[in-house]
Amino acid sequence: MDAFDLKGELARLYSRLRARMKADHGRHVSFGDLMTDRWERAGFLGFGEGSSCYDNVLVLGDVSVGSNTWIGPNVILDGAGGLSIGDFCSISSGVHIYTHHTVAWSTSMGEADYEHAPVTIGSGVYIGPQAVIQMGVTIGDGAVIGAMSFVNRDVAAGARIWGVPAREQG
């Protein structure tokens, strides 16, 4: 089979898979997500039983995820400084969780090192779409982080926070 034939076969397979996804679940996902199993991928990454992770999630370094946690599409899990996520969490689409940055390295023209600090997310945590979690943050069990929030300090268990920067709301 030459490359042209393979391309045609893949196009036909893509058509069938996306039609099935639309019929069965009323959604359209990327080619990679049509071709992979979110639960198998999570298992391959060593995440806990029942957890799922879309194919288009970027996973870097040391990332630990508990059981029954959902990692949505287009998420960045930066574990360069160590990242731990508990059980029964929802990490919504587009969330970025960082455990390192290159500010000092860039501004020193490469003379300074990258900076690292671990992030710990407890169990039963909901992180809304497009939220950004900065390195060194700990989020307690049962916390809720609102959509598009920037979290640059620790969050107490059960807290409800949102905003830029994120603050607890009444």
Catalytic residues: 101
3-state helix, strand, coil in the chain (%, to 5): 25, 30, 45
CA-based radius of gyration for the chain: 18
Closest-CA residue to 114 (of 78, 150, 63): 78
Find the farthest-apart pair of alpha carbons in the chain and give their distance in angstroms, rounded: 63
CA distance 170 to 151: 17
- Please tell me the number of Cα atoms within 13 Å of 165 on its side-chain side: 8
Helix (H) or strand (E) holding 121: strand 119-121
**Residue with token string 């288009």:** 56
Tokens of 67: 């059981």
